[in-house]
Amino acid sequence: MSKMPSIEQFRHIVKTVKMQSDFAGFDENEKPIYIRKNKYPIVKAIGTVKIHGTNASIGYKPRKGMWCQSKKNVITIEKDNAGFAAFVKARQDFFETTIKYLCAAFCNEDETLILFGEFAGKGIQKGVAISEIEKSFFIFGIRITDKDGDSSWVSNKNFVKVFVNWENNNTNTYILPFIKTYEVEIDFNAPEKANNEITDLVMQVEEECPVGKYFGISGIGEGIVFKFEYNGNIYLFKAKGDKHSKTKVKKVQHIDTAIIDKCREVAGKVTPSWRLEQMYDETFDTLNGGKGDIKKTGDYIRSVIKDVLKEETDLVEEAGIAFKDLNKYVSGIAKDYLFAKLDEEAGL
């Protein structure tokens, strides 16, 4: 079987995309090298309502046939999960026809196709609108695994395209993008703005679940799952509210963008080129023949921060921000300067 991978939270995705963007190859010891970019990507993420049920999927491989699975196990009618295997068995012809068509469109005989979704409805979960509907299967993605075990999601465009004329034939099976979608632009240079937009959307879903409303039931929803493509990879992340949940998972919260904008403004003021150059000369002792060294990046950044703390305390206090909040932005400017300087000295 091919297990459903964990869906990250937004802050984890921001870190991952920035690291991928910063990746510059490997050193002589085959360790990855990361060089902070001055500009990160801007992507469009498409969200669908996060269904509060149990993870369920249907797998298919041409030489093996079709099977059902929960999040961690292959399931059967004799050893089922919330009745999903029995649900599929009762609609055998429909699912076999559907998944063979998908397999023909997306994979070859050596690959495995998994139709991932959420099984929800009466008796599966409590406390949300869709717990009042008849048991139904909500498809949210298609994942292909090759013979070497490498997996990838089918893109949003192809996923929607392949189902555009799809009919569920009263099988209680639905394609989430056709019920409700959300679109958010994520600027990874200032992700806090997208975070706040996502927070507002999740609050709307909590107040009135669009999927429940689709079935004529009013009640709260769980959250939203977003998907986007960048640099040949497809990323998923979730954003949840807390009305229905007792877990310790961090919920989305608004970020004060005014403070962030102020930090960026002040960081720019306290890092003039002369200060960055002076700290470069002192850190690497250039007056005595020393040269810049990427291995001492931390030393250089600390020297800039220390000098700002020493010389610009009044300016920072006047702006009404804390040094602990400012340091992140000063560090970014210092790092950018250092890498640009090293590239210049290397003739790049």
pLDDT of residue 255: 63
Say whether pLDDT at 300 is over 60.
yes
Which residue shows structure tokens 């019920």?
179
Residue 283, classified by CB atoms within 10 Å of its CB into exposed (0-12), middle (13-18) or buried (19+), is: buried
For residue 332, give both structure tokens. 């970014």
Task: State residue 332's pLDDT score.
Answer: 86
Residue 164 has pLDDT above 80, yes or no: no
Q: Is 93 helix (H, G, I), strand (E, B) or coil?
A: helix
What does the block give as tokens for 126?
């409590």
Spatial distance between the Cα atoms of 232 and 308, rounded to a whole number of angstroms: 40
- Indicate if the pLDDT at residue 248 is higher than 50: no
For 143, residues 6+ apart whose C-beta sits below 8 A from its C-beta are: 2, 113, 114, 116, 151, 152, 153, 154
DSSP state of 292: -
Domain boundaries, the chain: 8-240, 257-345
pLDDT for 251? 53
CB 231 within 8 A of CB 1: no
pLDDT digit string, tens, across residues 134-149: 999 999 999 999 888 8
pLDDT at 247: 44
User: Has domain 8-240 been given CATH number 1.25.40.10?
Assistant: no
Q: Is 45 helix (H, G, I), strand (E, B) or coil?
A: strand
* Integer angstrom CA distances of residue 266 from 28, 228, 299, 309: 39, 33, 22, 12
pLDDT at residue 99 tops 80: yes
> 3-state DSSP call for residue 179?
coil
